[in-house]
């Protein structure tokens, strides 16, 4: 699996000079709780990397450590070859866009953007020009003299971005910057921000708990769990070839089927599950407890050729209609394990209680060791 | 935010004034009626008194107070007392309020208790306690002598030092409370944002922290100044007649020499000083030096 992952270098990655941001073995504890556990992360120049994980996974702590707003207990942080571990936040030249934007309420839009330039002693005339350019970049020229408190969420967001990039930071950190926006606006801003940052060539670290946001925006995604990076890869790697059950379940929808390995050959294992015998790529000892994960869109109605496909029979438990697609919950008679099946076109016969057959390619099955304490 | 204007209040969410009648205002009626009877009426009578002597209308009271270097000196004393007390309370109270607003858990409770429990002790008790501490055989002299800083006990009570010490002791909580309530509302991420933009601690303090806490500084300063300019008990107990203040003159005018016009005139002058200060502070809060919203 890992061979496959490295065999797919996206064009984007090739042009990023690697190791521009290097986080090495960083540990951070708060009292007895270890929030980051010897975490390492390497980000290329001009790359856009998302830290994706649920609240409490340590992603915001990592961001604050990189920004210098927290000090690590162990480990080192370098940007562009310069060791910043013991450098104060205001000497790092790392920009931050905060979740609530953190605009200065006593300053106008232009004064907010000029703040960093002024702190760095940029001459007045140059300040004015840069502020005007930054306002143009986020298409907010008309708002220069407004009070920031009079702006809408999306407008405040643009000003926060302009304020952070106008000082030409060596790295830009974004802490869930879209979480306060409604969905439509969020989608527009995601694309727009991505364009701005790509044009400026700014290396960016983006913290989010929203998997869709991470998939849409990132060059690479670091899926985080309990202070560690579970999987670092391109969006398509993370989605299609997750390295762990956690990544598979956190990013996108999936079905999990518990079972016991009964044998294997040629890089395939056979697994006894409540849905019958399932085959999947992998290497496990016979008798191992495993979990098979399948993406809903990989599953189709009807039977398939036995060699290439897993075919199971069961009952439709629920039909969930999304407009462009339909999700079925599909289960066997004797067990509660459910398959989530996604269909673009719903056969007329399908309704709850109906028996049907579904299939998916053996290659689309991912096998993971069953988590400890999981009896399913 | 219009803190000082909202009667030095703790609130920070300001709404635009609307002139349509709101029935909720009636809830304030008992308080308003009481204040009308207990405050407005006596003040109006006092103002009346200041313009009247035994022979009818007269400005003799004001002529006496504003024309006699002795009384001018006393007004000066009161202003000096209030200014120094306010300045020291601000210097000591600002960091204390900051700590109170930033700290969490049990230490916040302890700090709160340390700062606000003294408010539950009467000023008279507190001030007498201070005089006991500062006596020639009191604990301060005992410590200074035995630690070898001085050879023989020095006089502490009835000095200006003891006066300012006592005033700050009494009025410090009134500075900390409004500062604390403003600082608690200050988003700590603004300070992070400032640092991330390359601003050092001094720049951040001058450009972000201070402007955003200015309403608290103005509210606390106004409060401490206006109550310490009128202080009576503390100066009376700690320095007595050596350092006469406006309040002491008023008391003497009413109680000893029974010159009501003199007392009333002095009272009106003090009222004007305090009112001017409160008006000025509410103006300051609304101008760019304070906060612009």
Q: For position A71, what pLDDT does the model report?
A: 93
Put simply, the answer to whether A104 touches B187 (Cβ < 8 Å) is no
**A66, closest residue in chain B (CA to CA):** B196
Query: Quick one: average pLDDT of A181-197?
Result: 88
| For testing contact with chain B, the best of A60, A84, A105, A164 (most B CBs within 10 A) | A105
B55: in domain: no
Which of A89, A95, A172, A175 to mutate to test binding with chain B, by most B CBs within 10 Å of its CB?
Answer: A89
pLDDT-based confidence at residue A224 (cuts at 50, 70, 90): very high
Residue A96 has what pLDDT? Answer: 95
Residue B54 lies in a domain: no
- Higher-pLDDT residue of A165, B129: A165
Residues in chain B with CB shorter than 8 Å from the CB of A69 are 192, 195-196
Contact present, B227 and B175 (Cβ < 8 Å) = no
Q: Under an 8 A CB cutoff, do A90 and B187 touch?
A: no
**Closest chain B CA to residue A149:** B293
Per-residue pLDDT tens over the stretch A278-303? 889 988 888 889 999 988 888 888 87
| Residue among A31, A94, A113, A119 with most chain B CBs within 10 A, to mutate | A119
Check whether residue B41 and residue B78 sit in a common domain.
no
Task: Identify the band that residue A316 occupies on the pLDDT scale cut at 50, 70 and 90.
Answer: confident
Distances (CA, A) of A144 to A108, A140, A148, A234, A279: 7, 7, 9, 38, 62
Query: Do A104 and B208 count as a contact with CB atoms less than 8 A apart?
Result: yes
CB contact under 8 A, B195 and A116: no
Q: What is the pLDDT of residue A8?
A: 40
Closest-CA residue of chain A to B206: A119
Count structural domains, chain B. Answer: 2
Chain B residue nearest residue A113, CA to CA:
B197
Are residues B74 and B38 part of one domain? no
pLDDT exceeding 90 applies to what percent of chain A? Answer: 49
Can you give the pLDDT at residue A335? Answer: 62
Find the length of chain B: 293
Residue B170 lies in a domain: yes
Same domain, B113 and B229: yes
- What pTM, to 2 d.p., does this model score? 0.80
CA A139 to chain centre: 28
Q: How far apart are CA B82 and CA B167, in angstroms?
A: 9
In a domain, B231, yes or no: yes
pLDDT of residue A296: 86
SS3 B22: coil
CB contact under 8 A, B197 and A102: no
Chain A residue nearest residue B192, CA to CA: A69
Mean pLDDT, to the nearest integer, of A315-335?
A: 79
Contact (CB<8Å) A119/B211: no
Mark whether B73 and B187 lie in a shared domain: yes
| Antiparallel, parallel or unpaired: β A204-208 and A338-343 | unpaired
| Residues B269 and B149 placed together within one structural domain of the fold | yes
Q: What pLDDT does A334 receive?
A: 61
- In a domain, residue B57? The reply is no
Whole-number percent of chain B with pLDDT over 70: 91
Q: Are residues B109 and B39 in the same domain?
A: no
DSSP for A22-35, written as a single string: EEEEEEEEETTEEE
Q: Is some CB atom of chain B closer than 8 A to the CB atom of A91? A: yes
| E strand intervals along chain B | 52-53, 56-57
Instruction: Classify residue B257: in a domain, yes or no.
Output: yes
- Domain extent for B44: 2-49
Domain with residue B109: its CATH number is 1.10.3720.10
pLDDT over 60 (residue A374): no
Residues B175 and B263 both lie in one domain: yes
**Together in a domain, B109 and B194:** yes
Look at residue A186 and tell me whether its pLDDT is greater than 60: yes
Whether B196 and A105 lie within 8 Å, measured CB to CB: no
Nearest CA in chain B to A169: B197
Confirm whether B292 is domain-assigned. Answer: no
Chain A positions touching B189 (Cβ under 8 A) are 98-100, 102
pLDDT tens digits, one per residue of A329-356: 887 766 666 778 887 776 667 788 888 8
Stretch A231-244: mean pLDDT: 92
Between residues A308 and B273, which one has the greater pLDDT? B273
Chain A interface test: which of B196, B215, B288 (most A C-beta within 10 Å) = B196
Closest to A94 (Cβ–Cβ): which among B196, B201, B293? B196
- Dist CA A162 CA A323 (whole Å): 38
B182 with B69, same domain: the answer is yes
What interhelical angle do A183-200 and A153-165 show, nearest 10? 10
Same domain membership, residue B74 and residue B164:
yes
pLDDT in tens, A83-133: 999 999 999 999 999 998 999 999 999 999 999 999 999 999 999 999 999
**B235/B174 same-domain check:** yes
Cβ contact (<8 Å) for A89 and B192? yes
- Among the partner residues A98, A167, A173, nearest to B198 by beta-carbon distance: A167
Mean per-residue pLDDT over chain A, rounded: 87
Q: How many CB atoms lie within 10 A of CB A123?
A: 9
What would the pLDDT profile of A7-39 be if each residue is shown by its tens digit?
Answer: 344 444 445 667 899 999 999 999 889 999 999
Does B260 fall in a domain? yes
- In what order do the strands lie in the sheet containing A48-52? A94-97, A171-175, A204-208, A48-52, A220-225, A228-233
Residues of A in contact with B190 (CB under 8 A): 102, 104
Q: What is the mean pLDDT of each run of 10 residues along chain B (293 residues)?
A: 39 54 86 91 90 83 88 92 95 94 90 86 86 86 87 83 90 94 93 95 94 94 93 86 87 88 91 91 68 41
CA distance B123 to B44: 28
pLDDT for res B1:
38
**To the nearest whole angstrom, how far is the Cα of B190 from the nearest Cα of chain A?**
5
- Residue B76 and residue B136 share a domain: yes
């Amino acid at each position: 699996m890992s061979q496959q992952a490295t065999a797919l270098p996206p064009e984007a990655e090739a042009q990023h000079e690697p190791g521009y941001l290097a986080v090495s073995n960083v540990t951070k504890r708060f009292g007895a709780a270890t929030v980051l556990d010897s975490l390492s992360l390497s980000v290329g120049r001009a790359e856009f990397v998302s830290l994706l994980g649920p609240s409490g996974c340590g992603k915001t702590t990592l961001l604050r450590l990189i920004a210098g707003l927290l000090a690590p207990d162990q480990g080192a942080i370098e940007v562009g070859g310069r060791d910043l571990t013991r450098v104060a936040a205001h000497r790092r030249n790392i920009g931050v866009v905060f979740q609530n934007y953190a605009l200065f309420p006593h300053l106008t839009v232009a004064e907010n953007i000029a703040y960093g330039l002024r702190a760095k002693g940029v001459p007045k005339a140059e300040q004015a020009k840069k502020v005007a350019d930054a306002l143009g970049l986020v298409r907010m020229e008309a708002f220069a003299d407004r009070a920031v408190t009079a702006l809408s969420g999306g407008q405040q967001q643009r000003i926060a971005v302009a304020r952070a990039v106008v000082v030409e930071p060596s790295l830009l950190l974004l802490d869930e910057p879209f979480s306060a926006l409604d969905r439509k606006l969020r989608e527009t801003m995601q694309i727009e921000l991505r364009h701005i940052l790509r044009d400026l060539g700014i290396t960016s670290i983006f913290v989010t708990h929203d998997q869709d946001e991470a998939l849409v925006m990132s060059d690479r995604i670091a899926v985080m769990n309990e202070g560690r990076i579970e999987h670092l890869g391109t969006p398509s790697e993370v989605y299609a070839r997750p390295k762990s059950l956690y990544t598979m379940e956190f990013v996108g929808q999936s079905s999990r089927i518990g079972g016991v390995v009964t044998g294997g050959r040629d890089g395939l294992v056979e697994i006894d599950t409540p849905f019958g015998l399932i085959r999947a790529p992998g290497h496990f000892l016979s008798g191992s407890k495993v979990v098979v994960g399948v993406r809903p869109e990989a599953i189709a109605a009807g039977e398939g050729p036995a060699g290439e496909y897993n075919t199971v029979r069961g009952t439709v438990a629920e039909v969930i209609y999304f407009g462009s697609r339909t999700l079925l919950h599909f289960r066997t008679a004797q067990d509660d394990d459910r398959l989530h099946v996604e269909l673009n076109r719903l056969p007329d016969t399908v309704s709850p209680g109906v028996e049907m057959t579904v299939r998916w390619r053996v290659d689309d099955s991912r096998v993971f060791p069953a988590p400890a304490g999981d009896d399913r | 935010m219009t803190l000082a204007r909202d009667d030095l209040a703790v609130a920070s969410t300001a709404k635009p004034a609307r002139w349509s009648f709101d029935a909720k205002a009636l809830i304030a009626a008992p308080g308003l009626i009481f204040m009308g009877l207990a405050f407005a009426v006596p003040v109006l009578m006092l103002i009346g008194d200041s313009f009247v002597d035994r022979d009818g209308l007269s400005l003799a009271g004001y002529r006496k107070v504003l024309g006699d270097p002795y009384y001018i000196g006393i007004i000066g004393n009161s202003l000096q007392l209030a200014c120094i007390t306010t300045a020291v309370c601000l210097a000591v109270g600002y960091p204390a309020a900051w700590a109170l607003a930033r700290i969490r858990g049990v230490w916040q409770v302890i700090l709160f208790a340390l700062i606000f429990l003294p408010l539950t002790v009467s000023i008279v008790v507190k001030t007498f306690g201070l005089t006991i501490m500062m006596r020639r055989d009191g604990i301060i002299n005992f410590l200074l002598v035995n630690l070898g800083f001085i050879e023989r006990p020095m006089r502490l009570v009835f000095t200006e030092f003891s006066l300012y010490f006592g005033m700050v002791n009494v009025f410090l909580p009134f500075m900390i409370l409004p500062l604390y309530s403003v600082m608690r509302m200050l988003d700590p991420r603004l300070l992070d944002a400032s640092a991330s933009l390359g601003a050092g601690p001094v720049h951040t303090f001058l450009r972000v922290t201070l402007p955003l806490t200015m309403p608290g500084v103005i509210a606390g300063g106004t409060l401490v100044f206006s109550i310490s300019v009128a202080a009576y008990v503390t100066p009376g107990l700690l320095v007595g007649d050596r350092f006469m203040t406006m309040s002491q003159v008023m008391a003497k005018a009413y109680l000893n020499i029974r010159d009501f016009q003199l007392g009333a005139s002095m009272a009106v002058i003090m009222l004007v000083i305090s009112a001017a200060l409160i008006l000025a502070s509410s103006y300051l809060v609304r101008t760019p030096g304070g906060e612009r919203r």
